[in-house]
Structure 1
Amino acid sequence: MQLICSEFDEFEEALYGVQGRYVLRTRQQRDWQLNVVDLNGVALMSGREGASTVYTGIGLPGYFNIFLPLTGHESTVVDGHPFNRRRIGWMVPNAMFHINAKSPARWLTVAMSCELVLRWASVREDEFDFCVLHRNLVSNAQRNLGPLLWLARRLFHIEAQAPEVLHNEEAEEAARREVMDVVFRMLLPVDPLHAAPRHHRDHREILKRALELLDTLEIQSVYTEDICQAACASERTVRNVFNEYLGMSPHRYLMIRRLHGMRDAIRHAGPDDTITSICARFGVWDFGRFASLYRQYFGTLPAQSLRATKALSHP
């Protein structure tokens, strides 16, 4: 959704994941703009305010929120904490927060359902700081914000240009997981040094169970947390096992396996198959990134491979 309005009332009513009230500090200087990508449980929202404002509200029941100013960092204050380019705000459901923007600002928020956040954390319980689930906080990002900003730009671009690519079940699932991985890995406190140690598990048995899962299920429907559940191991343990035996993270291994699966689907494509339909089957929402990876691994673009397959099938 893209919204441009001359008055802030419509802008205020369209905000996702929060419920509150704007007070204008100064006279309006420009239109208000809002972009939303709703991934069915995770939503990204980018706003451009038309005046300096004070916003007071709560996070909606059932949603956690991340808040990042994109401009006006030094003139933004959240719950009394001045911002800079490294700071982020974290809002928990039903907790009051206050944002004081002393100049018209642009910002990005990510709203995530409690169900998805708790599921993400449960698989990584020996790394995750569960204290963040109970209180608002303002803190410095643990890592560079660039990956989240890049991912948000790609999602807003695809939502505007080709929303049908993004809004199928497999693509939304893949995009949700990618957004949450970036949010928690880049922004929130994840402290493995002070985590409680887990009992030792046979690494070979964990890898065996993981690979059996991949052989049993279609590769497009398997994610790292599925491997963790099948192996009865934490995400950190599974990550260590994959790096030890396969020389790469489970995320990268799954990505390569999925690329091989898509190559096989292209090589055995039917007359009505298209790159778009194959991508939808495998949950690919970013065609440009997929095409680049495909060429990196197989030396040709997916569309070229599909044309070659159809030429052989129908000379």
Structure 2
Amino acid sequence: MPLLRFKDFEAYSDAFAGVDGILRALSPNQGEWILHMLDAGEVTASLGRDGGTGVYHGLNHVDRYLAYMALPGSDTAMQGQDTSDDMFVWFPPRAEIHGHTRKISRFMGLSMDAAAVVQRAREVAGLFDEHVARTHVVSIGRLEVAEIVKLVTRALMIDLEDPTLFQAPSVRKAFSGQVIHALLRCMVLDNPEAVRRSRGRPPVPRNEIIRRSLDHIHKAIRGDAVIGDLVLSAGTSQRSLNRAFDEAFGMGPQQYYMLERLHVIRKALREARPGDTVTSICSQFGVWDQGRFAGMYHRTFGLLPSVELAAALAR
């Protein structure tokens, strides 16, 4: 979706995804009200820049969760608490939202399908229902929040460059799954006591751990699963999973996943057709940071993805 630019603050607030509310201006406009949105199905991401200061109150939609992040340089209060770049505010369906800004501010909003969040919270993160079903501040640290902001910002930029990419179900599913998993992971790290702990789990044989893991890794690469769910899929502990992969392949499961994804993308690059780009191919497999990926690709295969693609198209 292209950047939405508003001269009117009311039109700006009416465009917010997953929320019905009212914005009251506190000062004359000092610039345009800008909103960049990306609808990926289970997640709708919004990056906003206010054109002035204001007071906001609204109601989250009945079938959506919302994560709100004030971006660096902002001066915002949400739910009566000053925000910062090391936290986000979690809103369940039908939650009341109250906030105000003291200067021109920027925010990121992540509106998520309620069914997808609940399923992942129960089956993957192990969070109690009451933990995800209440409004609260998740104070986790700048690095964790910055990683989520970086992921979403990169996806928004890719969408601007090629709006057709996020029409592919695999790309939408990969992005949505990564975002929801990252937020729930932060909630677990913020409050470990909110997680159900299973006891007396029977041990899983190493070969079965590897079989289940490889099946899940291939699904994750195709966009049919999220790599963060690997421990659940393997049916064992993180320690046992790490040990099984180290014994079988001499590397950890995450490293193996990245290696396997490199080879799958290499095959896709070598089979590229006119109109394909490195970005479009990488996005199909959930890779949003092309700079970092290009470095890994070069270290593994001795050439850059762009060179691989150019050679394929020349053939």
Matched, 1:255 2:254: no
Structure 2 spans left out of the alignment, 5+ residues: none
**Secondary structure in 2 matching 1:104:** coil
Q: Aligned in 2, Cα 1:94/1:244: closer, same or farther, shift over 3 Å? A: same
1:259 alignment partner AA: L
Q: Aligned in 2, Cα 1:13/1:271: closer, same or farther, shift over 3 Å? A: closer
Residues 146-167 of structure 1 show CA distances to partners (whole Å, capped at 9, x for unaligned) of 2112112212211212222333
Q: Aligned in 2, Cα 1:249/1:19: closer, same or farther, shift over 3 Å? A: farther
User: Match of 2:89?
Assistant: 89
1:138 alignment partner AA: V
**Secondary structure in 1 matching 2:164:** helix
Residues 111-167 of structure 1 show CA distances to partners (whole Å, capped at 9, x for unaligned) of 1111221232233254x3543321111242256222112112212211212222333
Residues 84-108 of structure 1 show CA distances to partners (whole Å, capped at 9, x for unaligned) of 3323211111011211222232111
1:140 alignment partner AA: S
- Equivalent positions of 1:1-315 (< 5 A) are 1=1, 2-71=3-72, 73=74, 75-126=75-126, 128-141=127-140, 144=143, 145-186=145-186, 189-191=190-192, 195-198=196-199, 199-211=201-213, 213=215, 220-221=222-223, 223=225, 224=227, 231=234, 233=235, 237=237, 239-247=238-246, 250-267=253-270, 269=271, 274-275=276-277, 278-279=281-282, 282=285, 284=287, 287-308=290-311
Q: Aligned in 2, Cα 1:279/1:154: closer, same or farther, shift over 3 Å? A: closer
Structure 1 spans left out of the alignment, 5+ residues: none
Q: Aligned in 2, Cα 1:252/1:186: closer, same or farther, shift over 3 Å? A: farther
Q: Which shifted more, 250-259 or 208-217? A: 208-217
**Secondary structure in 1 matching 2:37:** strand
CA displacement at 1:56 relative to structure 2: 0.6
Instruction: Calculate the TM-score normalised by the size of structure 1.
Output: 0.82
2:7 and 2:72 mapped to 1: Cα distance? 20
Residues 52-108 of structure 1 show CA distances to partners (whole Å, capped at 9, x for unaligned) of 1111111111111111112554x4222222223323211111011211222232111
CA displacement at 1:219 relative to structure 2: 5.1
Query: 1:242 touches 1:250 (CA, 8 Å); kept in 2?
Result: yes
Q: Aligned in 2, Cα 1:295/1:28: closer, same or farther, shift over 3 Å? A: same
Instruction: Calculate the TM-score normalised by the size of structure 2.
Output: 0.82
Query: 2:72 touches 2:84 (CA, 8 Å); kept in 1?
Result: no
Query: 1:78 touches 1:138 (CA, 8 Å); kept in 2?
Result: no
2:220 and 2:25 mapped to 1: Cα distance? 53
Query: 2:131 touches 2:194 (CA, 8 Å); kept in 1?
Result: no
1:85 and 1:281 mapped to 2: Cα distance? 30
2:59 and 2:13 mapped to 1: Cα distance? 13
Query: 1:45 touches 1:109 (CA, 8 Å); kept in 2?
Result: yes
1:28 and 1:99 mapped to 2: Cα distance? 18
Identity %: 25
Query: 2:151 touches 2:288 (CA, 8 Å); kept in 1?
Result: no
Query: 2:14 touches 2:21 (CA, 8 Å); kept in 1?
Result: no
